[in-house]
Chains A and B, each alone.
Chain A
Amino acid sequence: MGMKTMFMPQVKVGMGQLLVEGGEPERNLSRAEEMIQEAAQQHCHFVLLPECLDLGWTHPSAKTDAQPIPGPYSDQLCESARKHHIYVCAGLTERTKDQIYNSAILINDLGEIVLTYRKINVLDVGLEFYAIGQSLSVVETPFGIVGVNICADNYLDSIENGHMLARMGAQIILSPSSWTVDFSVNEENPYKDKWYKPFHTLASLYNLIIISATSVGYIVGGPYEGKKMVGCSLAVGKEGLMAQGIYNEFAGALVSTDISIPVRRERGTEIGQMLSKKGYSVYTLD
């Protein structure tokens, strides 16, 4: 079914490196709205915002201030998406009846949530805050089939997550992130190939694009105090790096880029055969 659907061959993507202040949802969401507006003004078709942009990743306020989805924070983003006629993918801290999740939502340009994902590969330091997600999904959009995961889901040792989204037909994987480095790191390429390698592995195997927007800011609470988020968001396709955000630790920035939506020809077991032809084996993960 996915392959029969028509989609826009070229879209403009906004990678929103949002400044996230721990425990300050009002300020963070206000900046998120401004960034959505800016992306719309730059004629982006969709904008990707970071992980846990409401409260900050692993900020202790997750335990007390998380909101349901749908809820006031997601409503605010939905309203902004509707107002500016743009797709928005964003990470939020989600409270359910008895759990808190590190979640991401994809909102269409009518302001409706079309996909909700709960992070699976939660870091050990995050386990006191977030429960483990239990499903993966993709959704059809005007710019192809989109899958969503979050940050460490794309670790090389958790790359199965990306494989599954690819198996579901994802042409684009959107990954709200909160990549961190130690406070003393002060270099333009802070992650080396930590993120690029798994991104490019998936992109080149499946002919898909994986885009991650990470936050910027100083971590002021929780187990990662003393670290910071410095941007350098990534968009990677099968040919390699497509776009990269700037290095910064105190100011947000929107990086917009045009991408061609890749055509995925194989489905179902055809994918296994394609991988086999490429010499890829599940037993040699990297």
Chain B
Amino acid sequence: MSNTMEYNEIVNDIGVDEQKTDYQICSRCIMDSMVPRITFDQNGVCNFCKLQDSMSETFPNDERGDKILAASIEKIKQQGKKGAHDCIIGISGGRDSSYLLYLAKEVWGLRPLAVHFNDGFGNPVAGQNMLNVTNSLNVELQTITSDWRESKDIRIAFLKSSALNFGMSTDIGFTSALYGVAHKENIKHILTGNSFRTEGIVPLYWSYFDGYYLKKIHEKFGSTELRSWKPDDPGFNLDLHHLVYYSIFKGIRIFTPLYYHTYVRSTADEIISNQLGWTDPGAHYYDDLYQSLLFYLERVKYKMDRRKPNYSALVRSAQMSRDEALERIKKPYQIEDPKVINLCIKRLGLSKEEFSKYIDQPPKYFTEFPNRYKLLLMAKPAIKMLSLFNIIPKVSYDKYFNCG
């Protein structure tokens, strides 16, 4: 299929039509036909289940995974032996990153520098967790703080644009901050706490990540100018050429060790609570208060529920029963706390009327705005090669081309 045809197919099939009469739910997980570009085989199993199976082969968490993990850790140690730190770990105070920091320091013997990105919506419980965890592990913590005027303006711009992915600015800012610190401190490896086995595989429409798209939304709907990119201080600038600079020219690699590790949330909870003074912020994703507003908006305006991929992953990994997952998603997610949603609206300086107006606008998707996706499609073979050789995260190819 040509790149243009492929792009058009994606544009024309966002798959969130409520009027669909052919509603179907995966026979294995809880992904359903409300999920963009989902397909089912003759047994009713969805393409996301198959992708997780395939990723489980690519990223095994058995003896093969142990070997890959051990070799990767050894490489990180060797490459970082001259510096004060051999890797950077992005932390948020949530479970995954706290547990990863524990594994890195206590189990794998790495010398991590913890980096946190603060853009004004951190959950105070998660903040306390970061202090407790880094103090307990005796790990240095650097916080990169965004300019609130910028982060607020970007969030409002996304609301005005009606584009989904209005939480992307935190992901862009966080990733930029990690690259910026790695560049400044001359550290070649960044470890992240993602795990497809517990977090799930999120459809492209829901998780589209593109610094150019953010910039264009902000240019059109924002009211201030973003600070320009500096390698040590990238701010919210993370276009493809910046990624090329960090990953290819500077050789900074992103590694997801939990892909090779049998990560059981309940075990992680026990370890980090008992040994590091970690407290559950109340729900997954709740290290960031803005997630309250995101979940609410996603459900009400875009008819989507990010718990579906999340719980589906737990179902596939036998960490949650399918019945329990189905029962849970019957009710809105508990982090949709009206008090916290109001806090978010107020913190952005919006009135409730303004916010309601943004909700009422018709939903839009990344394909309706300038973006880099066509370019990525053209570079598909190159991206495959780069991810095969670990020059960019191995999962990048699947994220952009196999997630619906």
Contact = CB atoms under 8 A, between A and B. Distances in A.
Q: Do A and B bind each other?
A: yes
B97 interface: no
B128 A249 contact: no
Interface in B25-59: none
Interface string A192-231: 0000000000000000000000000011110001101000
B147 interface: yes
B181 to A, nearest CB: 10
Contacts of A21: 124, 343
B146 interface: yes
B268 to A, nearest CB: 21
Interface centre among B145, B147, B148, B233 (most CB of A within 10 A): B145
Interface in B331-357: 343, 346-347, 349
A22 B145 CA distance: 17
A284 interface: no
Contact of A183 (B122, B127, B148, B343): B148
Contacts of A19: 124, 127
A183 B124 contact: no
B118 A251 contact: no
Contacts of B116: 250
Contact of B343 (A24, A225, A228, A249): A24
A183 B147 contact: yes
8 contacts: A19-B124, A27-B124, A186-B145, A218-B122, A220-B120, A228-B118, A250-B124, A250-B127
B130 A251 contact: yes
A228 B347 contact: no
Contact of A23 (B118, B142, B143, B347): B347
A184 interface: yes
Given A23-B347, A248-B131, A218 B145 contact: yes
Interface string A232-260: 00000000000000001111110000000
A253 B116 CA distance: 18
A31 B125 CA distance: 11
Interface in B70-128: 116, 118, 120, 122, 124, 127-128
B131 A249 contact: no
Contacts of B149: 225-226
B343 A218 contact: no
Given A225-B149, A228-B145, A23 B346 contact: yes
Given A23-B347, A249-B118, A251-B127, 8 more contacts: A21-B343, A22-B347, A27-B343, A186-B144, A248-B131, A250-B116, A250-B124, A251-B124
Contacts of B131: 248, 251, 253
A18 to B, nearest CB: 10
B101 to A, nearest CB: 16
Interface string B140-184: 001111111100100000000000000000000000000000000
Nearest to B150: A226
A186 B141 CA distance: 11
A249 B146 contact: no
A145 to B, nearest CB: 36
A186 B148 contact: no
A251 B120 contact: no
A221 B149 CA distance: 9
Contacts of B346: 23
Contacts, number: 61
Enumerate the 9 nearest inter-chain pairs by beta-carbon distance, A residue then B residue, closest first. Answer: A250-B127, A251-B127, A183-B145, A251-B131, A251-B128, A218-B120, A226-B149, A220-B347, A250-B122
Contacts of A248: 131
Contacts of A24: 343
Contacts of B128: 251-252
Nearest to B123: A250
Contacts of A251: 124, 127-128, 130-131
A220 B148 contact: yes
Nearest to B227: A184
A228 B148 CA distance: 9
A140 B107 CA distance: 56
A253 B131 CA distance: 10
Contact of B146 (A27, A183, A186, A252): A183
Nearest to A253: B131
A228 B145 CA distance: 9
Interface in A160-211: 183-184, 186
B85 to A, nearest CB: 16
B347 A250 contact: no
A218 B148 contact: yes
Contacts of A250: 116, 118, 122, 124, 127, 130, 143
Given A249-B118, A251-B127, A251-B130, A221 B145 contact: no
Contacts of A249: 118, 143, 145
B347 A221 contact: yes
A225 B148 contact: yes
Interface centre among A31, A218, A252 (most CB of B within 10 A): A218
A31 B128 CA distance: 12
A37 to B, nearest CB: 15
B145 A184 contact: yes
A127 to B, nearest CB: 21
Nearest to B149: A226
A22 B146 CA distance: 17
Nearest to B144: A186
A31 B143 CA distance: 22
